[in-house]
Amino acid sequence: MDQSVKRSTSLDDPDPFDQLSGSELSPYRRFAASEWAAFRADTPLTLTEDEVKRLRSLNDPVDLDEVRRIYLSMSRLLYAHVEASQSLFEQRKRFLSVDEAIKTPFIIGIAGSVAVGKSTTARILKELLARWPSSPKVDLVTTDGFLLPNAVLREHGLMERKGFPESYDVSAVLKFLSAIKAGEQAVRAPIYSHMTYDVLPDEFITIDRPDILVFEGINVLQVRDLPEDGKMVPFVSDYFDFSIYIDAPEELIHDWYVTRFMQLRQTAFRDPRSFFHRYAELSETAALSIAEGLWSNINLRNLKENIQPTRPRADLILRKGSDHMVEEVLLRKL
């Protein structure tokens, strides 16, 4: 990956990505949120305020106005892409003179840092897409379930690198997406518990030939080193028909992460079953120190080394401001 696209570590230095994305050399068209909202056209609003509240994550203030401004235009754009993909599939069948009854699901990948709002985006999009007039079957899967079990991570000294590319069962991810793309029935995906901070043994969700699959995770746009002998090395993103990256300045993501951690001390962490229960009884100063350490030593490193460098690979980039709302949208040119 070209290191020139990484965000500058100093707030006083210009962001090379900003410089490129605003130039005639950029592969993206750039829109302010107000401009993007106009592309909604006549797309109906099919969610209620209560539904949005249910779909959003802790500390994510997205509301119905944000759905109108950003998500309805995204829904309209994705509808056009799905229709074009289905048309191309039919044309290819005629070209190859084959009569395949199996449909190929349209897969949308969503990437971005922890605490940036990926889960909220994924859940809202899933609901909006499922409410199109054609009533497509839409499923959502996150990569958390494909993390290696904690026992395996401990065995290999990877607990401090949980969420880094090497902490995932990439082979299982590729097999899952390959089966989905092949139109197989009853494809199983493992389940992850944020309460126990581990994969649940022998528990799965079953994905059965969806029209659209939303696949969300911090490193879904990650690439690997290519072999010198030219062997085929599949990437997770090879199975995507469209990809979205949720972006924000590092200092904002840091604030959101720490704020969320401190709020969880008063809620989920108080459950004795929680992996993080030990942090609930710490003083606020001690807990804040823990949160800052987790951010600096794990999440910030993962963002800078693995997640952020994949940003220019996305078809659509949503850039958030300090209020957690999208300020800019970058759409890859055709």
Question: Residue 296 annotated as binding?
Answer: no
As given in the structure block, the two tokens for residue 63 are 């509301």
Helix, strand or coil for residue 275?
Answer: coil
H or E element, residue 177? helix 170-181
Query: What is the residue-level pLDDT of the chain in tens, covering all 334 positions?
Result: 333 333 333 334 445 556 555 567 889 999 999 999 999 999 999 999 999 999 999 889 999 999 999 999 999 999 999 999 999 988 988 899 988 777 789 999 999 999 999 999 999 999 999 999 999 999 999 999 999 999 999 999 999 999 999 999 999 999 999 999 999 999 999 999 999 999 999 999 999 999 999 999 999 999 877 777 877 788 999 999 999 999 999 999 999 999 999 999 989 999 999 999 999 999 999 999 999 999 999 999 999 999 999 999 999 999 999 999 999 999 999 9
pLDDT of the residue at 19: 55
Residue 85, marked binder: no
Decide if 5 is inside a domain.
no
Q: Was 73 annotated as part of a binding site?
A: no
Alpha helices in 97-202 (DSSP H): 118-130, 150-155, 170-181
Q: Residue 319 is part of a domain; what is its CATH number? A: 3.40.50.300
Beta bridge partners of residue 215, listed in sequence order: 109, 141
Residue 8 covered by a domain: no
Of the CA atoms within 13 Å of residue 230, those in its CB half-sphere come to 0
Three-state secondary-structure class, residue 246: strand
Residue 10 domain-assigned? no
* Residue 116 assigned ligand-binding role: yes
Evaluate whether residue 3 is within a structural domain: no
Within a domain: residue 11?
A: no
Helix intervals (H) in 211-299: 250-264, 277-280, 284-294
> 326-332 and 106-112: which strand pairing?
unpaired
Total of domains in the chain: 1
User: Was 113 annotated as part of a binding site?
Assistant: yes
Pairing state of beta strands 138-142 and 28-32? unpaired
Domain that holds residue 179: 17-332
Q: Is-contact 324 61, C-beta < 8 A? A: yes
Q: Is 289 annotated as a binding residue?
A: no
Whole-structure pTM value:
0.91
Identify the DSSP state of 331: E
What is the structure's pLDDT at 18? Answer: 60
Q: 17 with 5: CB under 8 angstroms?
A: yes
Q: Is 119 annotated as a binding residue?
A: yes
Tell whether 4 is covered by a domain. Answer: no
